[in-house]
Structure 1
């Protein structure tokens, strides 16, 4: 990674079996220990009526007493780090940001209101993809045309797709073989502008995670029934 470049994470704290894990705090500590500068933290706010959001607040409705309050989570963190040092911008004019759009859509705020991918979207059955608008905004603000955009958690390929559309080179890693065909469908080799070099490499340690995840979920449900 070149000096002065940005590493952007879209993440959130995670609650597992009633225990809340401080993913964001741990991430900041890890990146700082690696020598990165903690640059910014932006809140990605989702619509309050969004179906995907867990209704944890329903606990208080069933038990209307103190200490039964669990808020609905309607946001994720966008955490930005920069590698120490300076860099020389490339393709400055081609990468110029549309100031009118910047102001109209309130990119200047540290709270971004962007609708997530709806549950009825065909991609949502595979994973929890984030919207192309979010990827496009991040790529616009933190990279130049011709840069390489790396996504180590490719999922359904949203970041790679948007990066190519925006004139960036893209590299992605995904451990789940279940998503291979989905990614290939979203990132075709041929484009309106001719043939581009697209390679799909499969490593020996790739896995089909969906069946394993279903088995673990069923095992947890069975254990709850027994207890």
Structure 2
């Protein structure tokens, strides 16, 4: 399996000759500006306002947030997303169409849907991730605190590839946190465990996953450990270096997960072949 992270902007992807993706996952900038830590105890030393402000007070998460261009992002994604299959899936089954998952702030959801529609991603639906607690502790006496993360699934015409193993999957998930074996590299890092769950649903063993805003590289690690080919871009050198050294160094696919996935894929293909034979016969 390939697992490649490039210290470059996704707009320069052409020079790396990466393949088209079955799934693109991205955590785009939330554009919080200098209020990134405004409702988080980290604004103060040791999380206590009696100690005065910390070095994070009035700081942005990233100095590149203002440079993010949503139109350019979707240009890249729709260029590197696999083409639609020519045939629909078997009766009662989704097709093998590709999909995008974009993590964003609640206020950005409609913008992401609208921009996707401009780029031919005509359909979208939300995903909601329920956290066990809220980081907005400083607003506890002012408002109901946000305890969720949000994402949008986008696709063109045909329903994306969908692996549910016969079980219903709803559009809300419990926020699955990582253990100490996963390094903390990025302030908005998404858990590997949770990313694996999404990758399992929308891809098969051997498929390609691309993360244009790779950050910590947790998406690449999740994909590679599941036996998917993973490619990512990260322009910040410090995140790139830490990811290469700690997150994606010496990744080995989880052999038991890969074997199970391969078996399930064979069964699905056998079912599709059987249905096709019945239709032709």
- Asked if these proteins are the same fold (TM beyond 0.5), I'd say yes
8 Å CA contact retained: 1:123, 1:129: no
Q: What SS is found at the alignment partner of 1:109?
A: coil
1:35 is aligned to 120
Q: Are the structure 2 counterparts of residues 174 and 192 from structure 1 closer, same or farther at C-alpha, using a change threshold of 3 Å? A: closer
| Cα distance in structure 2, aligned partners of 1:124 and 1:138 | 20
Return the structure number with greater helix share.
2
| Structure 1 unaligned blocks of 5 or more | 14-21, 61-69, 90-94, 194-227
Q: 2:219 aligns with which of 141, 156, 159?
A: 159
Once the two structures are superposed, the pairs formed by residues 1-227 of structure 1 within 5 Å of their partners are 1-2=81-82, 3=84, 4-13=97-106, 22-48=107-133, 50=134, 53-60=135-142, 70-84=143-157, 97-99=164-166, 108-116=169-177, 123-124=183-184, 126-185=186-245, 186-189=247-250, 191=252
Return the structure number with greater strand share.
1
- Post-superposition Cα deviations, 1:71-99, rounded to whole Å, max 9, x if no partner, equal 21111112101133588x7xxxxx96555
8 Å CA contact retained: 1:35, 1:83: yes
8 Å CA contact retained: 2:100, 2:153: yes
The answer to which structure, 1 or 2, has the higher relative contact order (CA under 8 A, 6+ apart) is 2
- With normalisation by structure 1, the TM-score equals 0.61
- With normalisation by structure 2, the TM-score equals 0.50
| Cα offset, 1:135, TM superposition | 0.6
| Cα distance in structure 2, aligned partners of 1:145 and 1:154 | 21
| Cα distance in structure 2, aligned partners of 1:159 and 1:167 | 13
Q: Are the structure 2 counterparts of residues 30 and 145 from structure 1 closer, same or farther at C-alpha, using a change threshold of 3 Å? A: same
8 Å CA contact retained: 1:117, 1:124: no
| Cα distance in structure 2, aligned partners of 1:152 and 1:124 | 19
| Structure 2 unaligned blocks of 5 or more | 1-80, 85-96, 255-281
- In angstroms, what is the RMSD of aligned CA positions? 2.9
Q: Are the structure 2 counterparts of residues 192 and 167 from structure 1 closer, same or farther at C-alpha, using a change threshold of 3 Å? A: closer
Q: What SS is found at the alignment partner of 1:36?
A: coil
8 Å CA contact retained: 1:56, 1:71: no
- Post-superposition Cα deviations, 1:98-126, rounded to whole Å, max 9, x if no partner, equal 55xx56xxxx12221124458x9984453
8 Å CA contact retained: 2:190, 2:218: yes
Q: Are the structure 2 counterparts of residues 187 and 177 from structure 1 closer, same or farther at C-alpha, using a change threshold of 3 Å? A: same
| Cα distance in structure 1, aligned partners of 2:235 and 2:253 | 30
